[in-house]
Amino acid sequence: MKNIVVLTGAGMSAESGIATFRDSGGLWAQHRVEDVATPEGFQRNPQLVLDFYNKRRRESLLAKPNRGHIGLAEMEQEYNVQIITQNVDNLHEKAGSSSVIHLHGELMKARSSINPYKVYPLDPDNPDISVDDKCDDGSPLRPYIVWFGEAVPLMTEAEEIVRRADALVVIGTSLNVYPAAGLINYVYAETPIYVIDPNDVSVSRGRVHFIRKGASEGVAELRDLLKEQFGHNKNK
């Protein structure tokens, strides 16, 4: 079965109503990165940071997968699909995708503020984190989010997955945020790359096919292109 590796960014979830950070009017227009997405910001004002992510979490719980998410999940009937996402929502999982790596963390989890390996699922019926919530090591709970300046612990695993790709699909990411953007350099030169984005995305690799559409329409076109590339037999 062919290995289809999908790298997704904020544009993947935009059609589901999840606010992006960099677009005009996006989250960064309302908040300084240093205040809500750094360890230092959490130390200065934990209430502000927790309120920010509590709101993101409640929005995410109301969001539904779009046709792009669902299309990727359906592709598992034909290919070995592995998703590497920069998104912290769980819309890929809601759509039915079974292999998802979250490079930048997950909204529906919390972690110890001193031990990144102490991670706890949050109850969808009670999803907020309070400044009074403590981990069993006595440290304050914080969002399970990889903030700016922190290491991305799943990068090595993601690099290995990309190396095994028979095709790499990039959806809704500008490829400007590192180290995630560097994953595209781990595909072999002959591996086809499909970029789904209505905006221009700079890719300095060889076999690149641009699908200048949003996630839902783009994934539908992708599925047709992959059938042309690999055929219909899922065992090929």
- List active site positions: 104
Q: What is the DSSP-derived secondary structure letter of residue 135?
A: -
d(CA 38, CA 13): 23
Count the neighbouring beta carbons within 10 Å of the beta carbon of residue 174: 16
Q: What share of the chain is helix, strand, coil (3-state, %, to 5)?
A: 35, 20, 45
**Lookup: tokens for 32:** 């300084």
- Kind and range of the H or E element at 70? helix 67-74
**Lookup: tokens for 78:** 């034909």
With CA atoms as reference, report the closest residue to 80 among 167, 12, 160, 174: 167
Pairing relationship of beta strands 167-171 and 193-196 according to DSSP bridges: parallel
